Amino acid sequence: MNVIELRDRILSGYEATREDALSLAEAPLDELCRSADAIRAHFCGDRFDLCSIVNGKSGRCSENCRFCAQSARHKTSIAEHGLLSIEEFVAAAKRNEACGALRFSIVTSGRRPTSPELDQICAAIAAIRESTSLSVCCSLGLLTEEEFRRVRESGATRAHNNLETSRRYFSTLCTTHSYDDKLASLRAARAAGLSLCSGGIFGVGETFADRVDMALTLRELAVDSVPINAYTAIPGTSLGNLPVLTTDETRRIVAIYRFILPRAAIRLAGGRRLLDDLGASCFLSGANATITGDMLTTSGVDAQYDVRLVQGLGYRPQLDSNS
């Protein structure tokens, strides 16, 4: 079926198949993006979710993700630090809230925090909830259901753990943990009562089919928020200088993810500054969320700029409906 026919079927409740999604690889881009935006408007309305993150513990990670500047296997120039204090977490949350962020995510390097570190993170979550109106998310690695339950009871509402790519391609990017480890962690977070944020990194040598297959896995997991990260080459990592994703290629990825995941918050994340228009055209192609402010190890887009941008595009800054 053509783009318009597929759009109309999705608006009526149809779930796009793998064959449907693969057919969109060659679809006329503008028609595809307009149709994706119509799907977004139908299922998500004019809400636009602005999330901010803090690098709660930086560097010296035991994992060997080839794209990541924080892996101890790489020699990069990023600043390293241990876990922030509760006061530092609260101060960062207040700064981001003042700039217009609606959500605040604590992100830590490493396979998982130690027990004392998790105690401190949970205390920080509780303090942030007392001191701000922010919704709190955590990206803490491969936690158990019991640990995720502690995070939820401290006041967090969402857990983040990127699948990164398809099952087929994952071992090309990382071998110190598995795709099944990722899936188990996401399922544990859901069982603990948290909503899920999971997406991937694009432009790391994956095929178009890999992109589609990851989206289908995210749909099986009923993921609520899907970060779209464009690979940014960082000296010292092992992937080297791969070609930068073009704005049009990113628009196509966003649009196809909207066709597969009509109700999710499709969220521009890392690499957004590489786009010609800082993502504005993607926000008219199915994306309805972003990480605002700086990323973990690279610069991002100013939150106050983002508030003006999304309002100018006709959105209302508001948490996504699955928060």
Of 220, 284, 299, nearest to 48 by C-alpha is 284
* 102-157 pLDDT tens trace: 999 999 978 889 999 999 999 999 999 999 999 999 999 999 999 999 999 999 99
Predicted TM-score (pTM) of the model is 0.93
What is the pLDDT at residue 136?
97
Q: Exposure pattern of 79-90 as b/e (b: 16+ CB <10 Å)?
A: eeeebbebeebb
Q: Please give the class, per CATH, of domain 18-317.
A: alpha beta
What is the pLDDT at residue 304?
85
In this structure, what DSSP letter does residue 317 have? E
What is the pLDDT at residue 178?
93
In this structure, what DSSP letter does residue 117 have? H
* 232-250 pLDDT tens trace: 876 666 676 788 899 999 9
Stretches where the chain sits below pLDDT 50 are none
Give the number of residues written for the chain: 323
The encoded tokens of residue 59 equal: 């560097």
The encoded tokens of residue 156 equal: 């967090």
